[in-house]
Amino acid sequence: MTALDWLVIAATIALVIAIGFRLSRRQGDEVDYFLGGRRLRGWPVGLSLLANQVSAISLVGAPAFIAVKANGGLRWLQYELAVPLAMAAILIVLLPLFHNSRSISIYRFLDERFGPKLRLLVTLVFLASRSLGSGVVLLATAYVTAVCLDITLLAALAAITLVTLAYTTLGGITADIYTDIIQLAILWTSALVCIFILVRLLGGFPAPLVSADPGRYAVIVSGGGAGSTFSFWPMLLGGFFLYLSYYGCDQSQAQRLLTTADRGQARRALLINGLLRFPIVASYCLIGYLLIPFLASHAAFAARIAGLPPDYIMPHFFRGFIPSGLLGFVIAGIFAASLSSLDSALNSLSAVTWNDVLLAVRPGLAGLHERKKLLLSRSLTLLWGAAAFLAALAMAGSGETVIEIVNKIGSAFYGPIAAVFIVGALAPRVRESAAILGLLAGFAANLFLWLFHGDGVSWLWWNVIGFGITAAVALVLPGRGAGASRPSLPRSSWSPQDRRAVLILAAWFAAILLLLLALHVSLAGR
Summarised one tens digit per residue, pLDDT across range 454-473 is 667 778 889 999 999 999 99
Question: Which residue type does 96 have?
Answer: P
Residue 348 pLDDT > 60, yes or no?
Answer: yes
91 and 502 Cβ atoms separated by less than 8 Å: yes
Q: Is 205 helix (H, G, I), strand (E, B) or coil?
A: coil
From the list 406, 387, 3, 319, the residue with the least C-alpha distance to 164 is: 387
Domains detected in the chain = 3-524 (1.20.1730.10)
Q: Residue 29: its pLDDT value, please?
A: 63
Q: Residue 310: its pLDDT value, please?
A: 80
Angle (CA) 293-299-304 rounded to 5° is 110
199 or 325, higher pLDDT = 199
Q: Residue 336: its pLDDT value, please?
A: 67
From the list 303, 311, 10, 305, the residue with the least C-alpha distance to 143 is: 311
- The Cα–Cα gap between 351 and 36 comes to 12
Instruction: Work out the pLDDT band at 483, boundaries 50, 70, 90.
Output: very low
> How far, in whole angstroms, is CA 304 from its chain's centroid?
31
Q: Residue 398: its pLDDT value, please?
A: 57
> How are the residues of the chain apportioned to helix, strand and coil, as percentages rounded to the nearest 5?
80, 0, 20
Q: Residue 460: its pLDDT value, please?
A: 85
Q: Residue 215: its pLDDT value, please?
A: 79
Residue 275 pLDDT > 90, yes or no?
Answer: yes
Stated pTM of the model: 0.85
From the list 93, 120, 470, 133, the residue with the least C-alpha distance to 244 is: 93
Q: Residue 9: its pLDDT value, please?
A: 81
What is the pLDDT of the chain when averaged over all its residues? Answer: 82
- The Cα–Cα gap between 144 and 184 comes to 17
Q: Residue 171: its pLDDT value, please?
A: 60
Instruction: Work out the pLDDT band at 241, boundaries 50, 70, 90.
Output: very high
From the list 137, 99, 9, the residue with the least C-alpha distance to 409 is: 137
Integer CA distances (angstroms), 150 to 10, 154, 155, 318, in order: 16, 12, 10, 12
Q: Residue 271: its pLDDT value, please?
A: 95
Element (H, E) at 428: none
In 10 A of CB 366, how many CB atoms?
A: 11
Instruction: Work out the pLDDT band at 224, boundaries 50, 70, 90.
Output: low
State the sign of the Cα–Cα–Cα–Cα dihedral 304, 308, 310, 313. Answer: negative
479 or 290, higher pLDDT = 290
Instruction: Work out the pLDDT band at 486, boundaries 50, 70, 90.
Output: low
For the segment 308-321, the average pLDDT, to the nearest whole number, is 84
281 or 24, higher pLDDT = 281
For the segment 87-100, the average pLDDT, to the nearest whole number, is 87
Residue 490 pLDDT > 70, yes or no?
Answer: no
Q: Is 307 helix (H, G, I), strand (E, B) or coil?
A: coil
Residue 99 pLDDT > 70, yes or no?
Answer: yes
Burial of 261 (0-12, 13-18, 19+ CB in 10 A): middle
Helices 326-352 and 3-24: crossing angle, nearest 10°? 30
Q: Residue 315: its pLDDT value, please?
A: 84
Q: Residue 526: its pLDDT value, please?
A: 55
Integer CA distances (angstroms), 517 to 67, 221, 374, 522, 523, in order: 20, 10, 51, 9, 10
Per-residue pLDDT tens over the stretch 150-173:
788 888 888 888 877 776 666 667
Integer CA distances (angstroms), 58 to 52, 196, 214, 288, 311, in order: 10, 18, 23, 11, 10
Residue 130 pLDDT > 90, yes or no?
Answer: no
Integer CA distances (angstroms), 81 to 47, 242, 281, in order: 19, 12, 11
Residue 126 pLDDT > 90, yes or no?
Answer: no
- The Cα–Cα gap between 194 and 202 comes to 12
Q: Residue 399: its pLDDT value, please?
A: 54
